Structure 1
Amino acid sequence: MNSDKRAVILVSGGLDSTTVLAMARAQGYACYTLSFDYGQRHRAELLAADRVSTALGDVEHKVVNLNLDAIGGSALTDTDIDVPEEETQGIPVTYVPARNTVFMSIALGWAEVLGAQDIFIGVNAVDYSGYPDCRPEYIAAFEAMANLATRAGVEGQKLTIHTPLMELGKGDIIAAGLDLGVDYSLTVSCYQADADGRACGKCDSCRLRRQGFVDAGVADPTRYY
């Protein structure tokens, strides 16, 4: 690992972001992991983010406090909106308004402070549940903005947003992570996980995760309640 080759990795404690962290580390980056306590109902993911960051050898793990629950508008931040347990069409109620834009903006700021020119995020255009801020067009637009809006970009230190999972299905993501030594039992993906990190097995995230292990041909290590 080259300590001069720094990257900020957005880590939620879930399957995708953990795989991205393993990929960045394998590419020789000194990994600075970033998570958000944003008022989410599934707070067990914060403990999982800390676990996977430690297990995969991060340099520093930072948790930034935001209260996106103050504006609500999502089943993940407003307990009055039920998390759907059946497949839905269009953009689901688990979409958190502007979440990735807020998260990546803070990651961008930390990258500037660290002198890092690389940010990794686990967005995916295949199994992305219909979220508009997980599409390649969005990532390209944010990267362009980042290079216009920062001192680093203006001074010629090009910032790059890496999305290594963008075109992969869940089974392929899991297979790639296992090849890199990821222990998926440390991760939490459920939108309504309990305080111990056990999953409901019914929400969209649980369905995608379970099918991913089936497609990868390996046992599902997820703990369900």
Structure 2
Amino acid sequence: MGSTAKKAVILVSGGLDSTTVLAMAKKQGYACYTLSFDYGQRHRAELNAAHRVSGAYADVEHKVVSLNLDSIGGSALTDTDIDVPEGETDGIPITYVPARNTVFLSIALGWAEVLGAQDIFIGVNAVDYSGYPDCRPEFIAAFEATANLATKVGVEGERITIHTPLIDMTKGEIINTGLELRVDYSQTVSCYQATDDGLACGRCDSCRLRRQGFLDAGVADPTRYQ
């Protein structure tokens, strides 16, 4: 990567979507600074996966920021007393983590400003929409407006852009895009309740969406299941 490459902060969870976004940003020629969060989630497997995929795509730096979102709880992903649902649910699911993407994007924005990066990538998706309010285009547009009001770089006339390249894609389309970019999806972890070594449950919402995506893409599912 040459020194003239534009810098971008890529939010990387270790899952299928964010790994695809990282590959897309690299293909576009960005110098990729990847950002993950140890926020009190149920398992370490996704952080291990985030480290793996960041290394695989030759990022400039991979940063893990610690947050104690489990201290406020309110989600099956941060409170072990709340079971992860294994059947379909109506409305906003209990796996929604209150304000998570708002918090994550805010820290990404701070790092971007320090780096002199004007581009932030996040793998939110509104087609295979799971009911999360912070995955909608309206939220991203509102956050981008806030980002440009709240920062020194925005006030001085530069523009921060929040990129959501997956926002209108189906899971099958995301997988096919990633495969064209040689993404190894066996290295990713999407499961809400994976084991410490990354084995997926095959039953949660995230596992079901992921499995259907591989079916729709017409390719073998490389996920390692329990």
Give the TM-score range, shorter chain.
over 0.9
Q: Which residue of 2 aligns with 1:131?
A: 132
Tell me which amino acid in the other structure corresponds to 2:61: E
1:42 and 1:190 in contact (8 A); partners too = no
Displacement after TM superposition at 1:128 (Å):
2.6
**Which runs of structure 1 show a deviation greater than 6 angstroms over 4 or more consecutive aligned residues?**
none
Q: Which residue of 2 aligns with 1:18?
A: 19
Q: Which residue of 2 aligns with 1:140?
A: 141
Q: Which residue of 1 aligns with 2:197?
A: 196
> Percent identity of the aligned residues?
83
Q: Which residue of 2 aligns with 1:52?
A: 53
Displacement after TM superposition at 1:2 (Å):
4.5
Tell me which amino acid in the other structure corresponds to 2:30: Y
Distance 1:173 1:57 in 2: 21
Q: Which residue of 1 aligns with 2:155?
A: 154
- Structure 1 residues 21-62: Cα deviation after superposition (integer angstroms, max 9, x where no partner): 000000000000000000000320000000000011111000
Tell me which amino acid in the other structure corresponds to 1:147: N
- Report the secondary structure of 2:25's partner residue: helix
Tell me which amino acid in the other structure corresponds to 2:127: V
Matches within 5 A, 1:17-166: 17-166=18-167
Structure 2: give runs of 5+ residues left out of the alignment: none
Report the TM-score when normalising by structure 2.
0.98
Report the TM-score when normalising by structure 1.
0.99
1:2 and 1:28 in contact (8 A); partners too = no
- Structure 1 residues 80-122: Cα deviation after superposition (integer angstroms, max 9, x where no partner): 0000000001000000000000000000000000000000000
- Structure 1 residues 176-220: Cα deviation after superposition (integer angstroms, max 9, x where no partner): 000001000000000000001000000000000000000000000
Structure 1: give runs of 5+ residues left out of the alignment: none
Matches within 5 A, 1:179-190: 179-190=180-191
Displacement after TM superposition at 1:3 (Å):
3.5
